[in-house]
């Protein structure tokens, strides 16, 4: 008798367990705004905190819920997000790189058009025209950019350059840059150009493509009007291979801060990295213009290779009004200022006051206002995740086997596989 | 009728919870995975089945074939390495080395560290710089005058994956040692005495008495290490990162495909992995099943 009661009890527990595993949704609190990001530490976390403080000031009746997922430079967060969207359980808003990376979500009908917000808040006027054009898909805009980074920046150590008799002037084009690197090598600098793991190599490749092709043909790479097997692209890839031969051999072992640190420590002459590297120089107490110098990658003067984080309005967001309030804060002058001063990037708005920002950022603000804006490949603005992953794999393979023909054909194939969709 | 239910009812009720949970969360999900691999699922959007198209794409993809080759080499090295060191250590301890307790703990200890944690350290140890700017193992080799042994480690396209096997062997050898030690202890002393009385040399005794008794242990070790090795993912993510070409294995390829939204192809890789592991495990299960029936 006792045994049977025990069995009945056990099976009841098991059944209850299976039942709860499938169901259960907490009641929706319409005051909550869940913001999904991968900003979990460092300057990114500081920026987010500042933005949240501004949000609370502007919308005291709403409740910010932090949905940050740490790790993997956002790839962990993106995979968590993908399964949440699949289960129709989207956060109120999520972070995504502005530009082509959003296409995946747009094609899956997971995002709502927010161009109405652009009209209501007059953002059409304050965001640069080039940027709005890059964000627009079939006449609709699906995200609000919170900050802008510049990718085509050379960071150089003037002390090291002096050893090879080089001055602080940038080379005119990539050929000139290669000559400079050659001089450094001959002067006994082991690593004329420092670089790190796969994506930083893609980063270098993209700046070479911009330099050799110019903005229009570079943008054409992504819409199909520039052919990947054309002689110009081929020449750019040759340039890239040549540049890679002046880099450190342990590149696959390093991440970008290690490569930037080689310039800070005087072990390398140049590093090509996005302007988040500025924070590394600041941390090391280096003075801009004296301890380190910056300029656009040779051949890309007057071009601003941009990447931006942006926020979205997912289909089926639980608190749509709350999401719109968050987007409104993200796009506002105060919100952008609070966030970007902490994060070390620049606002996507052109009406920022340069006085609020550091020396390097002032130059970035100036170029952002006047230069031609092109989208970054390594950071999700130019190509879909699938395409940029394929390019990263090809570049990583080249780093190991130095087979330039294989790299070229892999890049052509990546374009063929993905271009139809864009 | 009632008596029948009475006899088989309670056992069925008892195992029902496990059956239901296993059915849903293991076999149900395997089924869902295989099904997904037959569709054109991209980020959850699908228009229907495409047959074996995804598998065809995979086996025409140089990178995936390369990743299979890598995982094969890795498994061979990992299994051979752990068996060799595990047996050697167990044999030495079994011969009555002094301080056995301490050595047992020392050898077993690496297993307590997660692959991710040790991977971060090995990433630095296996730095591929040579000469002046070398660090990690290359530096050590340079310092002890073995500079010619310096290598590219896991950045070498042909043999790089074997460098990843080093930390794995280091971590799991102690575990195999523990298995063998248990095996040695399970062999009654009388058997050895009998062999000696019959005039067997030390080698003959090992060859004909000890090894046959240890073979089930060795088989278990091969199965356990082998299936761990085929599924390798965390160690490579920690040492080399997700997109590094020279260390691609099916596990990392699946992650990359999933991240790029190719859910169907990711599921196909998962299915291929399952089949490969099954090839290893199913014969083992059948043989143990037969052995138990014979008893």
Residues in B touching A14 (Cβ below 8 Å): 16-17, 20-21
Report the alpha-carbon distance of residue B177 to residue B84 in Å, rounded. Answer: 9
Tokens of B60: 């025409």
The number of angstroms, rounded, from the C-alpha of A25 to the middle of its chain's C-alpha atoms is 34
Beta-bridge partner residues of A153 = A296
DSSP string, B192-226: HHHHHHTT--HHHHIIIIIHHHHHHHHHHHHHHHH
Residue B159: closest CA among chain A residues belongs to which residue?
A: A400
For B256, which of A15, A190, A389 is closest by C-beta distance? A389
Contacts of B240 in chain A (CB under 8 A): 252
- Does A393 contact B128 at a Cβ distance shorter than 8 Å? no
B50 located within any domain = no
Q: Evaluate if residue A26 carries a pLDDT over 50.
A: no
Phi, psi of A294 (to 5 degrees): -135, 145
Residues forming beta bridges with residue A97, ordered by sequence position? A309
Comparing A33-149+306-375 with A153-305+378-419, is the CATH topology the same?
yes
Q: Say which residues have a Cβ less than 8 Å from residue B186's Cβ, sequence separation at least 6.
A: B213
A209 CB contacts (<8 Å, ≥6 apart)?
Answer: A218, A221, A233, A236, A377
pLDDT of B291 strictly over 90: no
In the block, tokens 């569709």 appear at B39
Which pLDDT value is given to residue B273?
95
Q: For an interface test with B, give the residue of A250, A262, A403 to mutate (most B CBs within 10 A).
A: A250
Task: Calculate mean pLDDT across residues A221-232.
Answer: 94
Q: Specify the CATH number for the domain of residue B239.
A: 1.10.3720.10
Q: How far is CA B264 from CA A357, A389, B267, in A?
A: 47, 17, 5
| Per-residue DSSP letter, B126 | T
**Which residues in chain A have their CB less than 8 angstroms from residue B154's CB?**
252
Domain boundaries along the sequence of chain A: 33-149+306-375, 153-305+378-419
Among chain B residues, CA nearest to A15: B17
Residues of A in contact with B43 (CB under 8 A): 82, 85-86, 104, 108
> Average pLDDT of chain B?
91
Which of A10, A78, A108 is closest, CB to CB, to B259?
A78
- Write down the pLDDT at residue A7: 54
Q: Model confidence at A3, in pLDDT bands (50, 70, 90)? A: low
On whether the CB atoms of residues A246 and A123 are closer than 8 A, the answer is: no
- The domain over range A33-149+306-375 is classified in CATH as 3.40.190.10: yes
Q: Please report the pLDDT score of residue A24 as a whole number.
A: 39
When divided into structural domains, chain B yields a total of 1
Q: Does A16 contact B at CB distance below 8 Å?
A: no
- Residue A18 pLDDT grade (very low, low, confident, very high; cuts 50, 70, 90): very low
Helices first, then strands: H and E counts in chain A: 18, 12
Cα B198 to Cα A85, A299, B188: the distances in Å are: 73, 86, 16
Give the nearest chain A residue to B256 (CA atoms): A389
B52-107 per-position pLDDT tens digit: 999 999 999 999 999 999 999 999 999 999 999 999 999 999 887 788 888 888 88
Domain hosting B170: range is 63-294
Taking an 8 Å cut-off on Cβ atoms, the answer to whether B262 and A386 are in contact is yes
Interface mutation vs chain A, best among B43, B64, B164, most A CBs within 10 Å:
B43
Q: Are A254 and B123 in contact (CB under 8 A)?
A: no
Contacts of A79 in chain B (CB under 8 A): 258-259
Tokens for B20, please give them.
Answer: 């239901």
For range B242-247, the mean pLDDT? 92
Answer for the pair B155, B130: CB distance below 8 angstroms, yes or no: no
Confidence of residue A420 (pLDDT cuts 50, 70, 90): low
Q: Which residue has the higher pLDDT, A360 or B134?
A: A360
Q: How far apart are CA B158 and CA B84, in angstroms?
A: 23
Contact A18 B20 (CB under 8 A): yes
Burial, B189: exposed, middle or buried (Cβ in 10 Å; 0-12, 13-18, 19+)? Answer: exposed
Q: Are strands A143-150 and A63-66 parallel, antiparallel or unpaired?
A: unpaired
Give the residue, A79 or B66, on which the prediction is more confident: B66
The answer on pLDDT for A293 being more than 70 is yes
- The secondary element (H helix, E strand) that includes residue A154 is strand A153-156
Residue A23: pLDDT above 50? no
Mean pLDDT (chain A, rounded): 89
Q: How far is A268 from chain B (nearest CA, A)?
A: 12
Residue B7 CB contacts under 8 Å (≥ 6 apart), including other chains: none
> For the ranges A27-41, A42-56, A364-378, B178-192, which has the lowest average pLDDT?
A27-41
Indicate whether A19 pLDDT > 50: no
- CA dist., res. A277 & res. A175, Å (int): 25
With beta carbons less than 8 A apart as the criterion, state whether A238 and A278 touch.
Answer: no
* CATH class in words for A153-305+378-419: alpha beta
Across residues A305-331, what is the average pLDDT?
A: 94
ipTM: 0.86
d(CA B91, CA B89): 5
B143-163 pLDDT per residue, tens: 888 878 888 899 998 999 999
Cβ–Cβ gap A399/B245 under 8 Å: yes
CB B119 within 8 A of CB B203: no
Instruction: Report, as an integer, the average pLDDT of A146-163.
Output: 95
Work out the average pLDDT over B191-200: 91
Model pLDDT for residues A84-108, shown as the tens digit of each residue:
998 889 999 999 998 888 888 898 8
* Residues on chain B touching A265 (C-beta within 8 angstroms): none
Question: What confidence tens digit (pLDDT) does each residue in B27-58 have?
Answer: 999 999 999 999 999 888 888 899 999 999 99
Q: How far is A77 from chain B (nearest CA, A)?
A: 10
Residue B1 maps to a domain:
no
Q: Give pTM, 2 decimals.
A: 0.87
pLDDT-derived band at A27, boundaries 50, 70, 90: very low
The answer to whether the Cβ–Cβ distance between B260 and A389 falls below 8 Å is yes
For the stretch A347-399, pLDDT in tens is: 999 999 999 998 899 999 999 999 999 999 999 899 988 999 999 999 999 99
d(CA B284, CA B97): 34
- Number of Cβ within 10 Å of residue A378's Cβ equals 25
Separation between Cα atoms, residue A256 and residue A262, nearest integer Å: 10
A397/B130 touch (CB, cutoff 8 Å), yes or no: no
Q: Residue A32 forms beta bridges with which residues?
A: A63
B20 chain-A contacts, CB cut-off 8 A: 14, 18
Residue B12 lies in a domain: no
Confidence of residue B135 (pLDDT cuts 50, 70, 90): confident
**Is residue B100 in a domain?**
yes
Residue of B nearest to A400 (CA): B157
* Residue-level pLDDT at B61: 92
User: Residue B1 above 90 pLDDT?
Assistant: no
């Amino acid at each position: 008798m006792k045994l049977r009661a025990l069995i009945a009890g056990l099976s009841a527990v098991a059944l209850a367990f299976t039942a709860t595993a499938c169901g259960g949704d907490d009641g929706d609190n319409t005051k909550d705004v869940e913001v999904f990001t991968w900003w979990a530490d460092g300057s990114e976390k500081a920026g987010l905190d500042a933005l949240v403080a501004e949000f609370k000031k502007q919308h005291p009746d709403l409740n910010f819920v932090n949905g940050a997922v740490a790790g993997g430079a956002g790839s962990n967060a993106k995979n968590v997000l993908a399964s949440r969207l699949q289960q129709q359980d989207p956060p109120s808003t999520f972070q995504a790189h502005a530009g082509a990376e959003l296409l995946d979500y747009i094609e899956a009908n997971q995002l709502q058009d927010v161009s109405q917000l652009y009209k209501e808040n007059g953002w059409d006027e304050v965001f640069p025209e080039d940027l709005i054009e890059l964000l627009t898909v079939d006449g609709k805009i699906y995200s609000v950019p919170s900050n802008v980074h510049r990718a085509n920046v050379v960071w150089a150590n003037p002390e090291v350059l002096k050893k090879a008799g080089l001055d602080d002037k940038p080379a005119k084009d990539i050929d000139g840059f290669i000559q400079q690197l050659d001089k450094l090598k001959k002067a006994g600098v082991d690593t004329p150009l420092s670089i790190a793991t796969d994506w930083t190599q893609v980063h270098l490749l993209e700046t070479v493509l911009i330099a050799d092709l110019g903005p229009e043909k570079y943008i054409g790479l992504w819409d199909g009007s520039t052919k990947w097997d054309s002689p110009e692209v081929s020449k750019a890839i040759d340039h890239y291979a040549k540049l890679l031969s002046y880099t450190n051999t342990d590149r696959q072992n390093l991440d970008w801060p290690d490569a930037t640190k080689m310039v800070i420590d005087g072990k390398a002459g140049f590093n090509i990295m996005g302007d988040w590297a500025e924070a590394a120089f600041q941390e090391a107490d280096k003075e801009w213009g004296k301890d380190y110098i910056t300029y656009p990658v040779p051949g890309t003067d007057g071009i601003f290779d941009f990447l931006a984080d942006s926020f979205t309005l997912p289909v089926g967001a639980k608190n749509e009004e709350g999401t719109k309030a968050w987007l409104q804060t993200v796009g506002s002058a105060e919100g952008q200022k609070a966030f970007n001063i902490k994060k070390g990037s620049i606002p996507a708005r052109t009406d920022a006051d340069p006085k609020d920002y550091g020396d390097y950022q002032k130059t970035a603000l100036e170029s952002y206002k006047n230069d031609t804006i092109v989208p970054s490949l390594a950071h999700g603005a130019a190509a879909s995740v699938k395409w940029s992953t394929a390019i990263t794999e090809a570049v990583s393979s080249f780093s190991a086997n130095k087979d330039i023909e294989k790299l070229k054909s892999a890049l052509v194939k990546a374009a063929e596989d993905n271009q139809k969709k864009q | 009728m009632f008596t029948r239910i009475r006899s088989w009812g309670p056992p069925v009720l008892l195992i029902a919870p496990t059956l239901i949970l296993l059915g849903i969360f293991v076999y149900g999900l395997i089924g869902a995975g295989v099904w997904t691999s037959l569709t054109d699922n991209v980020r959850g959007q699908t228009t229907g089945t495409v047959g074996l198209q995804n598998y065809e794409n995979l086996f025409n993809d140089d990178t995936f074939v390369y990743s299979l080759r890598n995982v094969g080499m890795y498994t061979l090295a990992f299994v051979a390495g752990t068996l060799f060191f595990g047996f050697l250590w167990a044999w030495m301890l079994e011969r009555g080395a002094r301080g056995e307790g301490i050595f047992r703990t020392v050898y077993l200890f690496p297993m307590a560290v997660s692959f991710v944690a040790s991977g971060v350290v090995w990433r630095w140890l296996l730095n591929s710089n040579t000469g002046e700017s070398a660090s990690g193992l290359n530096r050590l080799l340079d310092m002890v005058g073995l500079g010619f042994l310096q290598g590219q480690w896991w950045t070498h396209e042909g043999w790089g994956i074997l460098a990843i096997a080093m930390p794995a062997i280091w971590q799991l050898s102690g575990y195999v040692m523990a298995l063998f030690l248990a095996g040695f202890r399970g062999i009654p002393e009388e058997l050895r005495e009998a062999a000696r009385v019959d005039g067997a040399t030390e080698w003959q005794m090992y060859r004909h008495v000890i090894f046959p008794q240890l073979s089930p242990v060795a088989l278990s070790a091969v199965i356990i290490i082998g299936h761990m090795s085929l599924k390798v993912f965390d160690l490579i993510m920690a040492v080399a990162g997700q997109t590094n070409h020279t260390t691609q294995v099916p596990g990392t390829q699946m992650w990359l495909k999933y991240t790029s939204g190719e859910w169907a192809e990711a599921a196909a890789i998962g299915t291929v992995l399952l089949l490969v592991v099954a090839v290893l495990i199913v014969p083992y299960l059948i043989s143990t099943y037969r052995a138990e029936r014979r008893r």
